[in-house]
Amino acid sequence: MDTLDLVAEEVRKCQKCRLWKYRKNAVPGEGNNKAEIMFVGEAPGENEDIEGKPFVGAAGKLLTRLINEVLGLSREDVFITNLVKCRPPNNRDPEEDEIIACSPYLHRQIELIRPRIIITLGRHSTSYLFQIMNIKMESIGKVRGKFYTWNGHEYRILVFPTYHPAAALYNPPIRKILEEDFRKVKEALSSKPISLDNFLYGSGNKGEKGNSDSSK
């Protein structure tokens, strides 16, 4: 039977793409195995590579603050991971073959956790999920802050793209938008399941329904 521990164990030993050669530690992800919210960033950075944990540097501190203060949750309530589990050298963008090699780990984590909402942090994880959801990815600035329905894992998951916290560190306007986006998620979480569709697609039209058929 597959488990999150098994996924983590395989990630730590993985050599499926070139990134294993550069890592100090692989970073499988951590958090609640029954989390309602799953965060998916791009790839580990320097601090994450040293500690083997996701989002522990300056961007991670901002993410933790938003989880605590805006969502009213702790890191232990959510699950935090990345699209690519090993640090690309000099923090370069992950390459397509690296994403293809690594993404099955993310899908196994999603299958095991079955989150209600996946918050994609930044353009890489958003672009990856949009591709399999068959949604046209414009810039992260255009698609962020809305909920998109994904039935790719045989049950409904809401995908909510926003900026990567690293982009907000020295950019107060982006930081403000990031906080606003987290408030939207908080509002959605507070709504009763029966009224969630109304919240997302109802008269207020605060969200946008994406193409949920990943088979197309």
Q: Which range binds ligand SF4 by CB under 6 A, 97-105, 127-135, 154-162, 183-191?
A: 97-105
Per the CB < 8 A criterion, the answer to whether 46 and 91 are in contact is yes
Q: What are the backbone angles phi and psi of residue 156, rounded to the nearest 5°?
A: -80, 130
Q: Which residues pair with 159 in a beta bridge?
A: 118, 148
Closer CB to ligand SF4, 8 or 174, in the complex: 8
Q: Is 108 in the site for ligand SF4 (CB under 6 A)?
A: no
Instruction: Work out whether strand 79-82 and strand 37-41 pair parallel, antiparallel, or are unpaired.
Output: parallel
Per the CB < 8 A criterion, the answer to whether 51 and 25 are in contact is yes
If we measure between CA atoms, which residue out of 82, 70, 87, 80 comes closest to residue 19? 87
What residues from 151 to 210 belong to the interface with ligand SF4 (CB under 6 A)? none
Of 4, 7, 8, 11, the one binding ligand SF4 (CB under 6 A) is: 11
Minimum distance of ligand SF4 from residue 124's CB (angstroms): 13
3-state secondary structure of 162: strand
Closer CB to ligand SF4, 4 or 174, in the complex: 4
Minimum distance of ligand SF4 from residue 134's CB (angstroms): 24
Residues in contact with ligand SF4 by the rule CB under 6 A: 11, 14-17, 19-20, 26, 84-86, 98, 101-102
